[in-house]
């Protein structure tokens, strides 16, 4: 697709997203959009470690939960502003990712995936028994004066919509930076051949940890947003395996290793999940999973590069050119 | 430069190399020859830091490196060109070369290294934007060696550079190895193509089932009965020499 055409399409999409709250009827479609943006952000985070660096984590819910709990506990226990809590939660999640990433740095493939599930389960059980943060009862965020400063809006969901959209935009910028930076280049080298990357002198421990920390920070930001949006959280709503699985599915369906893949994946999967939940209630439990299963089967058989990969290939005749390495630069 | 001192190494419980010792002097081309499964590649992987010996020591310029991780070994100016090329197939030729320069610290160093490498393999300049997987086998091998040279190594480990290459290009690859050696780079070469490997080598070691059974200057080993019968066939050397002599 020509550069100009791409610009026109991008401008149209951005304009549509900005005016959408004015066009959508009622709060439910807006809620679906908000949840889509939030899962897209989680997917964008996962994509940095799973899509670019090849670390298939099924434990992103742990970082989502850490972010949600950090800002919520700081707010309820110490009155810390949730925006500051968001930063603290992000840093805490990144530090936790580094702490767990170091011993897991030599694990690959299935072993890494299993370790990530175990890690998330440990975090869930810990929070379920941690009285300081409300244990199994969770935390209820007190109502505050609505406004951007307090990160609370009572009259309409539209402000949450715009904040979620802004968060996603920041996530996409981080993802783009990773995709085009030398770090991203080395992420892909490690993903393609771990041993070869080592032989070339690439410190896989350093780059795997960097990918994990970036993913953790973005997941934690999504967690803080979720907590401020729902105003209640407990371990069973934020640190559970289905969330981690959905994050992986969002990225894989949309196109792992692409910048916009997780957004496309979230735009397909989250509405399915939310609509079946709203329309079918508890009777519909599992219907979304059946649909996910069918979609994943279709995409893995017919379009392994994901929906975004398929859409991109429609826009050009030839196979995509390899991502060029950025200009060589000095390293510390 | 490199001392492999009574080393035993293998994979988990399976020891492939038993109590092997050899050395590689500064500026030499040393070949390790032997049949498939003799343990040649295992030796290179141990030197590159991908395997840790269960016994013995590997020393580089007198310093033990047998417990040093692979990505640290490269910083000590050792580069490995692995068997089967192992390029980043979906990346361009240029990106593959950049990947080889990971340990270089300045733009100037990278540019100089690139210039030297392209002087050796001018075809890569023409192919710079092409995906590595679309190159021919010979070009891929050139790229793999070029990528290894990008880190400006003092010791180059070459694992089966002639594997899967058409005979005409094999000669070209070995000519390049001589040129690399002339630049003062020490080369440790592992090969199944025994004739060419001994031809290019200052010294060579013959490996059988994880043990060194013969060593000496390349030309001398070419004349040894063991090498002639086991690897070149009774008339193999004469035939190979005849091939060489033909224009």
Chain A's closest residue to B147, CA to CA, is: A200
> What residue ranges of chain B are covered by domains with CATH 3.40.50.300?
1-77+153-218
- Report CB contact under 8 Å: B102, A193: no
What does the H/E/C string look like for chain B?
CEEEEEEEEEECCEEEEEEEEEEECCCCEEEEECCCCCCHHHHHHHHCCCCCCCEEEEEECCEECCCCCHHHHHHHCEEEECCCCCCCCCCEHHHHHHHHCCCCCCHHHHHHHHHHHHHHCCHHHHCCCCEHHHCCHHHHHHHHHHHHHCCCCCEEEEECCCCCCCHHHHHHHHHHHHHHHHCCCEEEEEECCHHHHHHHCCEEEEEECCEEEEEEEHHHHHCCHHHHHHHHCCCHHHHHHHHHHCC
CATH number of B1-77+153-218: 3.40.50.300
- Residues of B (124-183) whose Cβ lies below 8 Å from A: 129, 131, 147, 151
**Is the Cβ of B105 closer than 8 Å to some Cβ of chain A?**
yes
- Report CB contact under 8 Å: B151, A201: yes
- Report CB contact under 8 Å: A186, B102: yes
Kindly report the nearest CA distance between residue A40 and chain B, in angstroms: 27
Q: What is the pLDDT along chain A (332 residues), one digit of tens a residue?
A: 567 888 898 899 999 999 999 998 888 899 999 999 999 999 999 999 999 999 999 999 999 999 999 999 999 999 999 999 999 999 999 999 999 888 887 788 889 999 999 999 999 999 999 999 999 999 999 999 999 999 999 989 999 999 999 999 999 999 999 998 888 888 988 888 888 888 888 888 889 999 999 999 999 999 999 999 999 999 999 999 989 999 999 999 898 889 999 999 999 999 988 888 777 766 666 777 788 788 878 877 887 788 888 887 776 655 444 444 444 444 43
Kindly report the nearest CA distance between residue A100 and chain B, in angstroms: 21
- Contacting B with CB below 8 Å, chain A residues are 185-186, 188-189, 192-193, 195-204, 321-325, 327-331
Q: Tell me what ipTM this predicted complex has.
A: 0.78
**Which of A193, A204, A328 is the closest to B98 by Cβ?**
A328
Q: What is the pTM of this model?
A: 0.81
Tell me how far apart the alpha carbons of residues B17 and B37 are, in angstroms, rounded to a whole number: 10
Chain A's closest residue to B107, CA to CA, is: A329
């Amino acid at each position: 697709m020509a550069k100009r055409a791409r610009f026109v399409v991008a401008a149209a999409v951005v304009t549509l997203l900005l005016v959408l709250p004015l066009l959508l009827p009622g709060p439910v479609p807006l809620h679906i959009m908000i949840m889509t943006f939030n899962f897209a952000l989680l997917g964008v985070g996962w994509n940095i470690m799973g899509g670019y660096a090849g670390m298939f984590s099924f434990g992103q819910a742990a970082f989502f939960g850490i972010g949600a709990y950090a800002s919520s506990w700081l707010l309820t226990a110490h009155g810390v502003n949730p925006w500051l809590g968001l930063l603290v939660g992000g840093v805490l999640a990144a530090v936790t990712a580094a702490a767990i990433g170091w011993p897991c740095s030599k694990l690959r493939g299935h072993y890494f995936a299993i370790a990530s599930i175990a890690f998330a389960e440990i975090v869930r059980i810990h929070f379920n028994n941690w009285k300081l943060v409300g244990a199994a009862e969770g935390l209820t965020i007190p109502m505050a004066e609505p406004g951007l400063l307090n990160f609370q809006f009572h009259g309409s969901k539209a402000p949450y919509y715009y904040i979620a959209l802004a968060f996603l935009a920041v996530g996409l910028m981080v993802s783009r930076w990773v995709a085009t930076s030398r770090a991203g280049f080395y992420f892909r080298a490690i993903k393609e051949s771990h041993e070869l990357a080592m032989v070339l002198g690439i410190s896989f421990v350093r780059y795997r940890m960097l990918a994990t920390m970036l993913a953790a920070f973005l997941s934690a930001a999504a967690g803080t947003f979720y907590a401020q949006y729902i105003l209640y959280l407990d371990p069973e709503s934020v640190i559970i395996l289905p969330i981690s699985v959905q994050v992986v599915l969002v990225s894989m369906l949309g196109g792992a290793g692409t910048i916009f893949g997780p957004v496309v994946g979230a735009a397909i999967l989250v509405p399915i999940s939310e609509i079946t939940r709203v329309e079918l209630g508890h009777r519909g439990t599992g219907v979304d999973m059946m649909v996910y299963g069918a979609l994943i089967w279709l995409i893995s058989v017919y379009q392994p590069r994901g929906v975004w990969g398929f859409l991109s290939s429609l826009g050009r005749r030839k196979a995509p050119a390899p991502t060029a390495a950025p200009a060589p630069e000095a390293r510390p | 430069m490199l001392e492999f001192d009574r080393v035993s190494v293998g994979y988990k419980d399976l020891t492939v190399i038993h109590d092997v010792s050899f050395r590689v002097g500064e500026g030499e081309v040393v070949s390790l020859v032997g049949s498939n499964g003799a343990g040649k590649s295992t030796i290179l992987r141990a030197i590159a830091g991908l395997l840790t010996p269960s016994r013995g020591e590997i020393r580089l310029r007198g310093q033990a490196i047998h417990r040093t991780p692979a990505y640290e070994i490269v910083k000590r100016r050792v580069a490995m060109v692995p068997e089967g090329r192992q390029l980043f197939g979906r990346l361009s030729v240029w990106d593959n070369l950049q990947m080889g320069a990971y340990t270089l610290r300045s733009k100037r160093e990278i540019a100089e290294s690139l210039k030297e490498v392209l002087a050796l393999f001018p075809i890569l300049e023409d192919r710079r934007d092409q995906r590595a997987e679309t190159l021919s086998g010979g070009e891929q091998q050139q790229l793999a060696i070029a990528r290894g040279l990008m880190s400006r190594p003092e010791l180059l480990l070459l694992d089966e550079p002639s594997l899967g290459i058409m005979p005409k290009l094999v000669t070209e690859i070995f000519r390049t190895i001589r040129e690399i050696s002339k630049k003062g780079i020490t080369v440790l070469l592992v090969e199944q193509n025994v004739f060419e490997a001994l031809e290019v080598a200052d010294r060579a070691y013959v490996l059988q089932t994880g043990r060194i059974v013969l060593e000496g200057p390349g030309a001398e080993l070419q004349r040894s009965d063991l090498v002639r019968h086991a690897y070149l066939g009774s008339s193999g050397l004469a035939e190979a020499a005849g091939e060489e002599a033909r224009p």
